[in-house]
Structure formats: C-alpha cells, structure tokens
Amino acid sequence: MAVTHSARAGETLFTITDPELQIVTRTKGVFKQCTLYHRDGGYLYAKDGSGYVRILARGMTTKPHTRWDYIEGSGEIAVSDDFMGAPVWRK
C-alpha cells in the first residue's frame, strides 16, 4: 500500500477549523462539546478520545453509536455535493 502523505515532525494532519466553531456529539445518551477539525479537502472531524471521528450527513459520524446534533459558532460551514450533503469547512 502506497503512502500519499506523511506528516513531518511536529506537523499534524488534523487542523482546527476555527476556535469559535463547536460541535455537539452524543454517544449512547452522553452529550459532549467538541472542537471541529478539518483535513482532506475540508471534511470535518470531531475529537473523540485520543482520535477523531468524521462528520457525515444527517447527523451521522464514522463511529457507531455516535451522532452529532449541531454545529455552532461564527465560522463558515458548507454542504458538500460529493458526499451526500456532509458539512465541510470552507476557508
């Protein structure tokens, strides 16, 4: 398997979108306020423990039993045409 990008020392692959933007996620009835991150062309991620979950359309995430309820703040969020309406970060 070929590696297309590798992080240099001190470089992160996930970048905070805007400190003002926050997302509320819930897992099995427990709500959590998280900072939004982006990578891969603007797709959004939320911090989850020591990792990240990708934010998908219709309140879904890439982690089973974890959903997102809303994104709040003053940054710009758009809807992606290429991934079934998932929210994406636009600079």
Is the pTM higher than 0.85? The answer reads: no
pLDDT score at 1: 46
Q: Which range of residues forms the domain containing residue 74?
A: 15-89
* Predicted confidence (pLDDT) per residue in 1-40, tens digit: 444 445 555 567 899 988 888 999 999 999 999 999 998 7
pLDDT tens for 35-76 read 999 987 788 999 999 999 999 988 999 999 999 998 888 777
Residue scoring higher pLDDT (22 or 85): 22
Is the sign of the CA dihedral 69, 73, 78, 82 positive or negative? negative
Q: Is residue 4 part of a domain?
A: no
Flag whether 85 is in a domain. yes
- Report the number of distinct structural domains present in the chain: 1
Q: Which of 91, 72, 90, 71 is nearest to 80 (CA)?
A: 90
Nearest to 57 by CA among 44, 47, 48, 46: 44
Q: Considering the domain boundaries, does residue 48 fall inside one? A: yes
Q: What's the CA gap between 7 and 13, in Å, rounded?
A: 7
